[in-house]
């Protein structure tokens, strides 16, 4: 290959680059000699996959010797187009000898020679945690501005061909989320969106329920102008935005129920959200990320349904493939972002968003039929992306309201108080089961009859089908779905499905949509739960000794633990379930929101929404 200029001079009058590739038949620079900062003179090439470069001459610091053995330093030599989120031209800048590696000063005739350069912005994966992405910059220099311009223009053209990258986003920032990091975390990642030329309309919320109000009131035309919505906050704040999006738009029947499930409301085929005064009594003081959902007094008495929207054109279909949701983590737990991106890191999340990553996420529809035993039957719909829990979980969310001044630590304190009380509740749960397969609960019962100690025998990690990037379970089509079955509920109408009833005293009842991995539970509540398989994981903890329940909770905190392998734990995968309390008061925790419900039903919609994510690497 013929190098530019003479004797390594980067300022030669002629540019003897190699011919263009198939990406562009017009004369252009696809193979040139440039100066790469911190490396030296390199031959830069552009192909259909990305950029690659090779040093013209090995540098003195490229090779080190230890005990007589030579080691070659591993310096990045390529980056894929799919990993580049921006290219930036910086002109009229000078490079000094101090900025160059030793041995490359000769490439410049003088230390103050004017240089033009452009920076390629991308990322590399962390060596210690592959799911965490780290910003990477590669700055190339040349004395000819036109040379840099041609490279920038060609890279810009190539990046525009990358499918699915957003151009306009609606960003909601919760300023008091978690430890109050919402605004600070957004300021840290905002330059990434600016460099990627993604327009962002930023709303810093000032009250609880504001994000819900705005999402639910957007017209179809307004919503179609955005490629997605971003939540800068915790799981509860994301839930608020999700409910604001789905409540007025999703047309779906109520969950199925067994014949003896008593409620008088007739489903007309639309999910109806009814906002009453009583709803705001539950959440009127909520202000942080765990308690933001639909608590504005301005919504009192408002009814929102699919048929009430006056905005008929253009249509905004739900589910929607191109409209995606993203989370910049700033909450107390951030389980959803950990399960979808694999890391609790704002930079990683921002990169997933600007690069247009996509993964489908199951969403649970929770319908409250009666608030108390004496209440009138009137359905109230909520949507959950991570977890809904009763008993222990509901008591913790209720108890924590007394200690809001403690911040996120109130959940730990409230959990300790509720654990010491060790209450159990009489209730009846029915769930859809598959007659052709042994449920997890049936299998576990047979294997645990001999001794509680068997509960500590954890299955080998290799036996667990963990949800990962390009997950086969999430991508496969169910083979047991009946003909004509809705793709969102493929497991509901199978002829082999039957209702199974469990009645008794329960310490807790939980329905996990995803694994809910977090820093305190590294494997989550259910290690092998998937992002988009169309199943809920129903976990019923029956009344048991105090020490046994502590044993169960301890297993949750261990990586590779076995919290479900106890005699008093029933665990099953189901597409739908119902719940009826035998007490006067029944409090649920729906994605961090306190939700009082004497009687409810729930179902899961497979892959209902898309997230700016890929799934965790490991």
Residue 581's Cβ-side half-sphere holds a number of Cα atoms within 13 Å equal to 26
Residues in the chain: 618
- Would you say 433 and 491 are in contact if contact means Cβ atoms under 8 Å apart? no
Write phi, then psi, for 283 (nearest 5 degrees). Answer: -130, 20
- What are 170's strand-pairing partners? 201, 229
Where does residue 592 fall: left (phi above 0), alpha (psi -120 to 50 degrees), or beta otherwise?
left
Residue corresponding to tokens 């005990």 = 67
Is the torsion defined by CA of 384, 386, 388, 394 positive or negative?
negative
Residue corresponding to tokens 């890279």 = 155
Cα 4 to Cα 14, 95, 109, 141, distances in angstroms = 7, 19, 15, 13
Q: Does 83 participate in catalysis according to the annotation? A: no
3-class DSSP assignment, residue 406: helix
Cα 87 to Cα 105, 173, 597, distances in angstroms = 26, 27, 53
User: For the residues of 123-146, what is the DSSP string, one character each?
Assistant: EEE-SS-TTSEEEEEEEEEES-HH
| Encoded tokens for 174 | 């919760």
- Would you say 374 and 261 are in contact if contact means Cβ atoms under 8 Å apart? no
As a whole number of angstroms, the distance between CA 260 and CA 369 comes to: 14
3-class DSSP assignment, residue 217: helix
Is the torsion defined by CA of 151, 157, 158, 160 positive or negative?
positive
- Would you say 556 and 517 are in contact if contact means Cβ atoms under 8 Å apart? no
Q: Minimal CA–CA distance to 107: which of 92, 117, 97, 98?
A: 97
- Would you say 562 and 457 are in contact if contact means Cβ atoms under 8 Å apart? yes
Residue corresponding to tokens 């007589």 = 68
Q: Among the options 227, 235, 433, 533, which is catalytic?
A: 235
Mind telling me the catalytic residues? 235
């Amino acid at each position: 290959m013929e190098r530019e200029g003479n004797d390594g001079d980067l300022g030669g009058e002629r540019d003897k680059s190699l011919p263009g590739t198939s990406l562009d038949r017009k004369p252009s620079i696809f193979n040139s000699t440039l100066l790469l900062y911190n490396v030296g003179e390199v031959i830069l090439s552009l192909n259909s996959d990305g950029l690659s470069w090779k040093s013209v001459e090995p540098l003195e610091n490229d090779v080190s010797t230890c005990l007589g053995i030579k080691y070659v330093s591993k310096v990045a030599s390529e980056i894929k187009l799919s990993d580049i989120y921006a290219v930036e031209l910086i002109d009229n800048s000078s490079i000094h000898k101090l900025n160059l590696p030793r041995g490359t000063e000769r490439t410049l005739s003088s230390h103050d020679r004017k240089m033009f350069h452009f920076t390629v912005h991308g990322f590399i994966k962390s060596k210690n945690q592959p799911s965490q992405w780290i910003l990477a910059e590669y700055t190339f220099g040349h004395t000819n501005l036109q040379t840099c311009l041609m490279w920038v223009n060609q890279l810009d053209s190539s990046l525009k061909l990358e499918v699915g990258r957003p151009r306009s986003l609606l960003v909601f920032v919760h300023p008091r989320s978690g430890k109050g990091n919402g605004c600070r975390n957004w300021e840290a990642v905002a330059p990434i969106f600016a460099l990627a030329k993604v327009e962002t309309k930023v709303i810093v919320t000032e009250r609880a329920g504001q994000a819900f109000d705005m999402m639910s009131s957007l017209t179809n035309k307004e919503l179609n102008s955005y490629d997605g919505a971003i939540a800068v906050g915790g799981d509860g704040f994301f839930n608020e935005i999700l409910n604001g999006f789905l409540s007025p738009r999703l047309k779906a029947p109520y969950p199925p129920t067994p014949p003896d499930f008593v409620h008088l409301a007739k489903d007309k085929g639309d999910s109806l959200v009814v906002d009453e005064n009583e709803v705001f009594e539950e959440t009127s003081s909520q202000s942080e990320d765990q308690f933001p959902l639909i608590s504005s007094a301005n919504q009192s008495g408002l009814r929102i349904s699919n048929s009430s929207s006056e905005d008929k054109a253009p249509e905004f279909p739900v589910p929607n493939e191109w409209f995606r949701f993203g989370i910049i983590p700033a909450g107390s737990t951030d389980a959803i972002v950990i399960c979808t991106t694999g890391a609790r890191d704002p930079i990683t999340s921002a990169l997933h968003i600007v690069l247009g990553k996509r993964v489908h996420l199951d969403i649970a529809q929770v319908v409250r039929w009666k608030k108390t035993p004496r209440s009138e039957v009137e359905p109230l719909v909520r949507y959950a992306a991570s977890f809904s829990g009763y008993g222990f979980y509901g008591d913790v969310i209720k108890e924590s309201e007394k200690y809001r001044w403690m911040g996120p630590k109130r959940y730990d304190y409230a959990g300790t108080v509720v654990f010491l009380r060790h209450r159990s509740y009489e209730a009846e749960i029915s769930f859809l089961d598959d007659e052709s397969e042994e449920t997890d609960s049936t299998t576990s019962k047979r294997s645990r009859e001999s001794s509680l100690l068997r509960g500590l025998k954890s299955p080998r990690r290799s036996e667990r089908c963990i949800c990962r990037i390009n997950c086969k379970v999430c991508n496969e089509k169910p083979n047991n779905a009946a003909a004509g079955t809705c793709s969102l509920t493929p497991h509901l109408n199978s002829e082999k499905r039957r209702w199974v009833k469990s009645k008794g005293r329960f310490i807790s009842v939980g329905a996990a949509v995803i694994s809910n991995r977090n820093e305190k539970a590294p494997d989550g509540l259910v290690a092998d739960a998937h992002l988009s398989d169309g199943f809920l994981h129903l976990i019923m903890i029956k009344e048991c000794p105090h020490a046994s329940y502590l044993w169960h909770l301890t297993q949750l905190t261990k990586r590779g633990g076995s919290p479900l392998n106890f005699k008093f734990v029933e665990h099953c995968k189901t597409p739908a379930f119902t719940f009826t309390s035998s007490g006067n008061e029944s409090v649920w925790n729906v994605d961090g929101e306190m939700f009082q419900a004497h009687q409810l039903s729930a179902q899961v919609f497979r892959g209902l929404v898309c997230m700016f994510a890929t799934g965790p690497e490991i």
